[in-house]
Structure 1
Amino acid sequence: MRTVEAVVAVVTTCIVFGASSAYSKNLDLGTIVFANILFRHGDRTPVDPYPTDPWGNETLWPVPFGQLTNVGKSQHLRLGRWFRERYSHLLPECYTPYDVYVQSTDIDRTLMSAEANLAGLYPPEGDQVWDKLKWMPIPVHTIPELEDSLLASKKYCPKYEMELQNVMNSPEIRKIDDDNQELYNYLSKKAGTMVQSVSDVSGIYNTLFIEVLYNRTLPEWTKSVYPDKLKPLADFSFTVEAHNKLLQRLKSGRLLGEMVDHLVSKSKNALFPNRKIWIYSAHDTTVANFLMTLDLFEPHCPPYTATVLVELRVNSLKQHIVTISYKNTSAEPRLLTLPGCEVACPLGKFVELTNDMIPKDWAKECLLGWEQYAHNITMPSIFGISILLLVIIILLGLLIIGVVYYHRNCDSNRYYFKLTTDPI
């Protein structure tokens, strides 16, 4: 029986990305002087098993639902060691906060992945060894999910939500839903949950995928749909959240903008403090949305530890160039070509090509204008609002009548006192 770690390694090597091959000797890629790193967390248990799942009891798993497993910790430890080797010319062996900054979404598995990764990147040396454990505590920064518009992208954005609904109701997506309605009905019945979209399918697929990795026997009903019928829809689901330019700008634009700022500031020796690496620990959707924003994504589920590298380099002509690489296996990362540029993209051209995807004021751009509110007003909603206003007016009128009556009654009795001889 293969170990879970071995199975994970085999599965992640099967994804082929249609992009440039690994570093070509014909390219003048120069020397890396700065790196933005975005990666997905490591191996985890299912987040939300479907209601009829025979493996839906948390006690059947090595760690609670959605948590990083030992396999996941090991994956990121090895990735951190790979970073150490790749950036050995850039990073001193001893940790200093002036060299690296790490930000994670506020989720246990991404925080733990970042910490495991840093254990591989910065094994303590010299006077930084403080215990036989041989581990160096390094800060990982985060903010609550619902306040995070940079990495988790969960902060509420009205315009994004409205546009996402427009996409979900578009002819393209509706056709996919209509073509797969029979499958949706089958899954709803067998899984015991309402399946109405590709995202719902992806959730079930993801759970089954993990259960196969852990050698769990799947229910008989899954044999006719997993993986062949579910995987294409699950892969496609990763294109929905950043399906068009507006969604991309509002979903991943801030992250792209921050990375571009790092590159430009570094090229001018104006990055303060003068860091060499900026690390972002996040999710498969984060990786997919970011690549979608750069028009570099081919539908697939980014595997555990999938990594995007946006690196600033100085070539032999002393020019600043930018390279984008995608690492989703244990092999070397693949160079990707930003549409409209070369593999070794001049920094100025890179800034120009990405400018339209970066919001100038994210919070302001998230607001809906009156014409957009008006666009959402339908006749039923107008009728409902009218009824509500009528009810409010009637209640206010009754309240005013009651107050007037009360005061008049009080005034008529203000100077009148009943005598003991008055009949009771």
Structure 2
Amino acid sequence: MKKKSTMTWDCWQKGKRGMTVSVFFLGSICFSVMLAYLVFGDSTDDGGLRTLRMIAILFRHGDRSPTSFYPNDPHRNYPWTGGLGALSERGSLQMYNLGRNLRPRYYRLLPSNGLYSKDNMYIVSSAAERCIMSAQSFMAGFLPPLENTNPLPISWQPVAVNTLPRDRDTILAQKKPCPRYEQSLQRLMAYPPKDIRDMNEKYEALYKTLSLSTGENISTILDVELLYNTLEIEKNAGLELPDWTENIFPEKLLPLAERSLSLFTETPLMKKIKGGTIISELLDNMVRKRAGILMPERSIFVYSGHDVTLVNLMRALNIIDQSTGKPDFSAAIVFELHYSITFDDDFEVKLLYYFNSEDKYPKELRVPNCGDPCSLTKFSQLMESVYVKNYEELCQLV
């Protein structure tokens, strides 16, 4: 790609050559411009955000109630608001705060009148109610109406949250049947990779302790992950955990829970089916945006999903080592598409990770082998191995 020239070097040269008063004055101004560039970056770029053309935000839902209990659970009869698997009040606030945190960074892409428009943005959620409610809470913080255009007597406005039926969802809940994937997963469960076999042997005593303490058979990393989720939620709710969890939760259980989540994208094919589907969706939108053929010409895409959604995506991108193997509630990854200030004929892709709703300073993630900056063309080439052209064909048994 051909790089653009900048004014800073010319200014520096003029400043050095300034012999007369007028030229010296010009040189001083140019030196000031150069100094400002070094300290603050290109002023026309405003830290890289004036060049922003489109974003795609994918987050995990907020804190929720348990979906299941172990037989000896002392909190089985706790009155969970909303029932099992529901977004908690704490979770709703987390998502609202995440929206508020992201709003200042992306306000230039929001409608100038502050009102929702389907021509400007698209919000889609997993069919799980906790995900739908998370999307609603996020948008309440991300797109509050302006006072002079708000038709309601409260500082909130309705937005359209589209949902994907679970049996047709390939990108968020990812429950659409795929025989080829299911065959691969069953094979892995029957014949686990060596590191998991070693893990099972190493933690055999722990499994026995957990089984005795919970009253449930704990013999796989998946069993541990489900138990971890229940204990984490109960702790977040301020409930006292049983004595047997001391020195076990979370330290000893977290690595097992993380490995359980990674198992769903263990092979290149599994990464393509589970992570490549959403990468393909995001990439298609970015390419159309660059070409000027995105219809409607939206600037904001919001996806409300699950922890495994984020893990599958990050493993397909090969960036999981830069974030976390078990995303927190309200964790988010943002794809930014920028008009290039480095290349004449391409856009740039930036990835940011918010560890949770309290994260004010997101971590910029680097796509391996894409360079810095990462061009959309190079990013597209790197994603060819996981790009999904036809889900039905990919999922057929061979």
TM-score if structure 1 supplies the norm length? 0.77
Distance 1:49 1:209 in 2: 12
Equivalent residue for 1:288, pick from 311, 321, 330: 311
Distance 2:365 2:247 in 1: 36
Task: Assess, with a 3 A threshold, how the Cα gap between structure 1 residues 82 and 224 changes in structure 2: closer, same or farther.
Answer: closer
The DSSP-based 3-state class of the residue aligned with 2:205 is helix
Distance 1:224 1:327 in 2: 28
Equivalent residue for 2:397, pick from 359, 365, 368: 368
What residue is the counterpart of 1:35 in the other structure?
Answer: 55
Of 358-367 and 285-294, the range deviating more from structure 2: 358-367
Distance 2:170 2:320 in 1: 21
What residue is the counterpart of 1:419 in the other structure?
Answer: none
TM-fit CA distance, 1:29: 4.3
What residue is the counterpart of 1:66 in the other structure?
Answer: 85
RMSD: 2.0
1:87 aligns with 2:114: no
Equivalent residue for 1:115, pick from 128, 136, 150: 136
Distance 2:325 2:275 in 1: 18
The amino acid of 2:153's aligned partner reads K
Equivalent residue for 1:321, pick from 334, 337, 348: 348
Distance 2:353 2:167 in 1: 28
Q: Is the 8 A contact 1:42 1:75 kept in 2?
A: yes
TM-fit CA distance, 1:219: 1.4
The amino acid of 1:135's aligned partner reads W
> Which runs of structure 1 show a deviation greater than 4 angstroms over 4 or more consecutive aligned residues?
24-30
The amino acid of 1:368's aligned partner reads L
1:233 aligns with 2:260: no
Of 24-33 and 239-248, the range deviating more from structure 2: 24-33
Q: Is the 8 A contact 2:55 2:337 kept in 1?
A: yes
Q: How does 1:9-408 map to 2 (within 5 A)?
A: 29=48, 31-59=51-79, 61-92=80-111, 93-125=114-146, 128-168=149-189, 169=191, 170-298=193-321, 299-317=324-342, 318=344, 319-329=346-356, 330-369=359-398
Task: Assess, with a 3 A threshold, how the Cα gap between structure 1 residues 270 and 34 changes in structure 2: closer, same or farther.
Answer: same
TM-fit CA distance, 1:127: 6.6
Structure 1: 5+ residue stretches without partners: 1-23, 370-424
Structure 2: 5+ residue stretches without partners: 1-39
Number of residue pairs the alignment of both structures matches: 345
Task: Assess, with a 3 A threshold, how the Cα gap between structure 1 residues 33 and 226 changes in structure 2: closer, same or farther.
Answer: same
Q: Is the 8 A contact 1:48 1:65 kept in 2?
A: yes
TM-fit CA distance, 1:173: 2.1
Distance 2:229 2:67 in 1: 9
The DSSP-based 3-state class of the residue aligned with 2:329 is coil
Identity %: 34
Task: Assess, with a 3 A threshold, how the Cα gap between structure 1 residues 351 and 230 changes in structure 2: closer, same or farther.
Answer: same
